[in-house]
Chains A and B, each alone.
Chain A
Amino acid sequence: MKYLRLFLCLVAFSLTACMSHVFTDTTTRLQVENKTDVTILGVDIISEDGKSVYTWIRDAVEPGEKSRVVEEDWVGSFKVRVRFDKWSGIANATYCAKEIDVEVRPKVMVQALAKKSEPNVIITDDYGCSQEGNLHMVYSEATLDFEGGSQHLIVSQDEDGNVAFKLK
């Protein structure tokens, strides 16, 4: 009995303050798989005000390809931005969202094809809404929970024409 208590104390002791990193991951090894039909130019973590950006995946990921695995200290819940070179729903872009808080340039939200959900692809344009040919950036944002360890982010296009994120 005496030794059992000692043992339990040792277990409790080892679970904190020097040993917990054996059991919990403090980094995330991220790989991105591109299941859309456009190229992914990169994956960033961005701050809530959008002013600070930290690039996580720098590779361009062709449709159907996977990126390299990049290990970073991001464990928790963060806003992820995936940048594309273009978006196939652009031809149907009829929705111009000027009310979005942008100090530098206006944004164009790509209208969802089936109108079942809110559009989540954003295009920033140097010359304002409805000016095609002056695209600055095409991207989509989502807040994802990174649990640490090896994680696989699948980026695809849903039936509404929006970007779908799946983190495994």
Chain B
Amino acid sequence: MKISKILLLLAMVAGVAFADPIPTEALTQSGLVMRDRQLRDIGLVMRGGRGGFVDIGYTYTPSSEQLQLKSKYGVHDGFAFRHHYGIFGSWALDSVSHLGFLTWFDRVGWDSQDFFFFPHYGDFAHISSSFTWGFSYTNTKYDVTAALGLQHQNLELASHKVYPNESDSLLFYWAHARYKNVSLQASFYRNTFQTIRLSLDLESRSLYGGVSSGYKTFLPNLSATIYRRKTNGDDDNFVRLNWEQNLYEQVLYADVSFDFPDDGFRSAALKFYPVPSRLLGIEASCLRRQERSGAKDLLWGGAIDLFFLRLGYNTVFDYENMFHAKGTLIAEIKVSLGKIGRDHFGRGASQPAPMVTTERKPDLKKILKARAEQQNLGSTSIDAQGNKVIEAKGIRYEKVDGSATQGGN
């Protein structure tokens, strides 16, 4: 017990001591990252397209030296933060049609003080948020889902001292269409596309009416995303291919991504979910940062997801969503849970959580007894002759003489 506490303490100290400051460039790209991650999340939820989903969380980085900011002037003490929620709810129009509403919100950035709702707005702060919302329609008879909505990217504050000018783009719009296990998702700004994603979820998932074992569960989940990118004013679009592969009984997965045409291997992760419902998880990941060459280019990390708490160190997710944070332990306090009918599951799960039914049958005898005592009705007993005798309580007879009761008569 003591050794584990010392190790925990050491891990916390090491998490701060070896941390690298986050670059200002990563903060200016946060809008792009947020919008894409929200649409990826929505894509996963639209795989079912009915029921509900909730995902709420915030990162916990207690030290101001944990995620410092690297600007052109030097290294600033402060806090990087990410507050987010995603909520999807639906209601059944009839036995096959489901109408849904979804909102996803992220507020991320860096400030000299940490906060929940009201930032300090320090001289070197960068705070931006992204809000995605929309409606969905799912027909379970034909197994189709269609969704569309808007995305608002709001730059709350970007200090002119260290950040380049950014445009505040409020009107992105997106659409998502699914037929069985094929999905197409696209987002646009005015008349230009931002991302186009084609997903083939070939793996059979019992959550969506498939099987929970057999060769069909070993089919891959593939998605290809075309990202719009500009390099020195020229179009430099690229494609990111994601390949998720069940390795063992839908509890062990490999997740690999490649960038085309230029950069090649992007990241790989090995994920173990003790139960296929993905309410808990352990992952090890490797990211190629394309900053240096050779082995130093690779960033190795791992994470543990304990349903209410996620601890990550150098993982791909933390690197991408916490402004290239590395060398530090990032704790996220969060809840992420989906529900379809009576099934519960985590994000991207293939099987529902095993049902724990605790049926509470009311104990009639106890209730009656309690009620009898409460009302103080009295008790029955049997006398020597076998007759039931009811002793009345609470009724008082008073012996009175005639004159007193007759009164004035």
Contact = CB atoms under 8 A, between A and B. Distances in A.
Contact of A17 (B74, B78, B116): B116
A72 B74 CA distance: 15
A26 B114 contact: no
Contacts of B72: 47-49, 52
Contacts of A74: 73, 76
A127 interface: no
A77 B75 contact: yes
B75 A16 contact: no
Interface residues of A, number: 26
With a 10 A CB-CB cut-off, give which of B68, B69, B76, B120 has the most chain A CB atoms. Answer: B76
B41 interface: no
Contacts of B115: 17-18
A52 B74 CA distance: 12
B64 interface: yes
Contact of B112 (A46, A47, A54, A75): A75
Given A20-B64, A54-B161, A78 B73 contact: yes
B60 A79 contact: no
A143 interface: yes
Give the size range of B's interface with the partner.
Answer: 20 to 34
B122 interface: yes
A15 interface: yes
Given A20-B64, A20-B114, A75 B76 contact: yes
A17 B62 CA distance: 8
Nearest to B83: A17
Contacts of B64: 20, 24, 26, 75
B56 to A, nearest CB: 14
Interface string A38-57: 00000001111100101000
A75 B116 contact: no
A54 B159 CA distance: 14
Nearest to A47: B72
B53 interface: no
Contact of B120 (A26, A45, A46, A77): A26
Given A72-B123, A73-B122, A73-B123, A78 B114 contact: no
A16 B73 contact: no
Contacts of B122: 26, 73
A52 B123 contact: no
B73 A17 contact: no
A18 B77 contact: no
Nearest to A26: B112
A78 to B, nearest CB: 4
Interface string A49-83: 10010100000000000000000111111110000
6 contacts: A16-B60, A24-B77, A26-B64, A26-B77, A77-B75, A143-B74
Given A24-B113, A75-B78, A76-B77, 6 more contacts: A21-B113, A21-B114, A24-B64, A47-B73, A49-B72, A73-B122
Interface of A: 15-18, 20-21, 24, 26-27, 45-49, 52, 54, 72-79, 143, 148
